[in-house]
């Protein structure tokens, strides 16, 4: 029997955490530290609002052959969306709006320096455990979902 759960059979109780990051804090590393401190096994972002002064993102057209589609931004942005999972290899996508309301988004690589605030609500699927394994079809580490009772 495979450890991977069929997509139609994944369910879990939910725990919710709220936190606020202040000016100068780096959002990704702060979230990963939060997850580690609380030993969360299946954490994910429920919502986030705030602002950043920098961001490093991988753009949508990255592939096995072309992983260098990266943009390093340095200006004030509003966080208009942040979604993803936060296991040891976080998989987050962000959408940022500049002073004219133009948006840019991509896969978070880091360098998300908080400008004024980042107000986050983090959920944890209490009955599940998230890990990542290399998927030969995509060339990227992809989400593996397991029931906690199956964990060693």
Show the domain range for 22.
7-150
Domain assignment present for 137: yes
CATH of residue 137's domain is 3.30.1330.80
d(CA 19, CA 40): 15
If one counts the domains in the chain, the total is 1
**What's the pLDDT at 139?**
81
Q: How many residues in total does the chain contain?
A: 152
Q: Is pLDDT at 136 greater than 50 in this prediction?
A: yes
d(CA 5, CA 9): 7
Domain assignment present for 1: no
What pTM does this model have?
Answer: 0.86
Domain assignment present for 2: no
Determine how many CB atoms are found less than 10 A away from the CB of residue 92: 22
Domain assignment present for 77: yes
End-to-end CA distance of the chain: 16
Highest-confidence segment of 30-39, 64-73, 139-148: 30-39
Domain assignment present for 122: yes
CA contacts within 13 A on the Cβ side of 37:
7
**What's the pLDDT at 7?**
55
């Amino acid at each position: 029997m495979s450890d991977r759960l069929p997509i139609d059979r994944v369910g879990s109780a939910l725990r919710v955490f709220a936190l606020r990051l202040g000016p100068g804090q780096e959002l990704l590393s702060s979230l990963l530290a939060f997850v580690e401190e609380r030993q969360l096994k299946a954490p994910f972002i429920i919502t986030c609002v705030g602002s950043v002064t920098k961001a490093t993102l991988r753009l949508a057209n990255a592939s096995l052959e072309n992983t260098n589609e990266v943009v390093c931004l340095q200006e004030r942005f509003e966080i208009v969306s942040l979604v993803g999972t936060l296991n040891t290899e976080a998989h987050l996508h962000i959408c940022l709006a500049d002073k004219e309301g133009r948006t840019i988004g991509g896969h978070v690589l880091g360098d998300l320096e908080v400008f004024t605030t980042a107000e986050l609500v983090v959920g944890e699927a209490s009955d599940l455990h998230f890990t990542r394994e290399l998927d030969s079809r995509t060339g990227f580490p992809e989400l593996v979902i397991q029931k906690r009772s199956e964990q060693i």
